Chain A
């Protein structure tokens, strides 16, 4: 498999101090890749680096053969990468429908097929179309956040902790929807707090510690690797 998004030896941070000290990872079409690691390891920061929201001081980010390091977010969106941040990932003062519309801001013309696709993936949102999204439940918010990011039919989807704070039922639902999205050919890179569940459901995983790669491998390998299990997965 050839990678669609390749992060190579990225170094950089929010200010002068480096948070990422040479991170490398890649994700291919039709693959779910999980990033796990302790709090503050730099998981969210990797996603921001891809999205042009970080001062990058070394390394490169390659998307479909093009070097996109340092591109502005709206060019990255246009290229086909969409991102659901960990916090503030919906427009709370706008309706569900308007949130999706903003997700498709770069797309002109008839959007009805895109709306149908998103409401098909997230049937829970159908009855909430005209509801101000700030009043949605946690699970519905997360679905809307994913829906917003999928409106542009991205080739790569970055999900930062899509199951944070959700009940097991919603978590399973989000995982299932992610698999469905993957099966349509989208590459998914996701950060997960629920490391075991995430590795079990992902194709591959990276374990990040203090801004560097510590381990990587298939989800199953990481789960059965004793040193990994002891150190990061709570035995």
Chain B
């Protein structure tokens, strides 16, 4: 009984939150590997994605999952446009400028969300989502779908990067942008492709955060710290690292509830980040390539 309680109250929610962090951290890692800056707009982009899906769901109906693909495409293109407007002209300047610019972009996105959808908490569907019981484990349908879709995204992304010509071009550019350029790879197209993929990942992270908890304008900003912690923990620049890092952060956060009050949950990822930066700043996987 002890184990089942542990699983139901801490492990399952931890893995679910962890997979949301993982999807976010993979996006952070992709931006870092190819554009070489930390994308501080990541969380707010996720918020925007979550609310775009809400808007589409209100307009079209049926099921929030059904509108998710459309929302991801919208956020994917939005993130390409944001790059064109705010980051492209900074490409050859010190990367700190792009990082700061991304903080501004995040603030803008958050304001847009607040203007359009307000600051109140909302949800995709109201009412109680009754968990299924499987061998004593209580799992909600939202949780199963979150895990399934996250796993699928990771597998598709890894296959894309290793089998597809453009995916390999992303790895090539991450490895050596100059050599990619003189090999005839159009770096600007690779950058646009990367932003599209990052937009899709952001949107999914926001959507699953929304469907497992609630939607509010600060939701993405609130997960930015654990998401970046996950990316660093996994050794920034590694997809598998970001995945494992996300799961670890999710589990630590939930388990910390055994000893600290819920309001301080976010502090646990801060502590993990601090420890990683102090003890092993390169993360647990060898750094550098996607």
Residues of chain A whose beta carbon lies under 8 Å from any beta carbon of chain B: 51, 53, 73-74, 77-78, 82-83, 85, 88-94, 98, 101-103, 105-106, 148, 152
- A-B pairs with beta carbons under 8 Å apart, 6 shown: A73-B182, A91-B172, A91-B175, A93-B171, A101-B168, A102-B169
Chain B contact surface mostly:
helix
B94 at the A interface (CB under 8 A): no
Determine if B179 and A85 form an interchain contact, defined as CB atoms under 8 angstroms apart. Answer: yes
Determine if A102 and B172 form an interchain contact, defined as CB atoms under 8 angstroms apart. Answer: yes
CA distance A50 to B289 in the complex (A): 30
Determine if B185 and A105 form an interchain contact, defined as CB atoms under 8 angstroms apart. Answer: yes
Determine if A94 and B186 form an interchain contact, defined as CB atoms under 8 angstroms apart. Answer: no
Chain A contact surface mostly:
loop
CB < 8 Å neighbour of A152 from B174, B176, B184: B184
CA distance A88 to B181 in the complex (A): 12
CA distance A85 to B176 in the complex (A): 12
Determine if B178 and A74 form an interchain contact, defined as CB atoms under 8 angstroms apart. Answer: no
CA distance A89 to B179 in the complex (A): 6
CB < 8 Å neighbour of B178 from A85, A92, A103: A85
B239 to chain A, nearest CB (A): 13
Determine if A102 and B181 form an interchain contact, defined as CB atoms under 8 angstroms apart. Answer: no
Determine if B182 and A94 form an interchain contact, defined as CB atoms under 8 angstroms apart. Answer: no
With a cutoff of 8 Å between Cβ atoms, the chain A residues found around residue B180 in the complex are 91, 102
Within 8 A of A (CB), among B156-180: 165, 168-169, 171-172, 174-176, 178-180
With a cutoff of 8 Å between Cβ atoms, the chain B residues found around residue A77 in the complex are 182-184
B280 at the A interface (CB under 8 A): no
Determine if A94 and B172 form an interchain contact, defined as CB atoms under 8 angstroms apart. Answer: yes
CA distance A155 to B179 in the complex (A): 19
How many residue pairs link A and B with beta carbons under 8 A? The number is 60
Residue on A with the closest CB to B166?
Answer: A105
Residue on B with the closest CB to A51?
Answer: B182
The answer to whether A105 and B179 touch (CB under 8 A), given A77-B184, A78-B184, is: no
CB < 8 Å neighbour of B165 from A85, A93, A105, A152: A105
With a cutoff of 8 Å between Cβ atoms, the chain B residues found around residue A105 in the complex are 165, 169, 183-185
CA distance A90 to B183 in the complex (A): 10
CB < 8 Å neighbour of B176 from A51, A53, A88, A103: A88
A121 to chain B, nearest CB (A): 18
With a cutoff of 8 Å between Cβ atoms, the chain A residues found around residue B178 in the complex are 85, 88
With a cutoff of 8 Å between Cβ atoms, the chain B residues found around residue A90 in the complex are 179
**What 3 A-B pairs have minimum CB-CB distances, sorted nearest first?**
A77-B184, A93-B289, A106-B184
Interface centre among B174, B176, B182 (most CB of A within 10 A): B182
Residue on B with the closest CB to A77?
Answer: B184
A131 to chain B, nearest CB (A): 15
Determine if B183 and A85 form an interchain contact, defined as CB atoms under 8 angstroms apart. Answer: no
B91 at the A interface (CB under 8 A): no
With a cutoff of 8 Å between Cβ atoms, the chain B residues found around residue A85 in the complex are 178-179, 182
Determine if B175 and A92 form an interchain contact, defined as CB atoms under 8 angstroms apart. Answer: yes
CA distance A102 to B186 in the complex (A): 12
CB < 8 Å neighbour of A88 from B179, B184, B186: B179
With a cutoff of 8 Å between Cβ atoms, the chain B residues found around residue A51 in the complex are 182
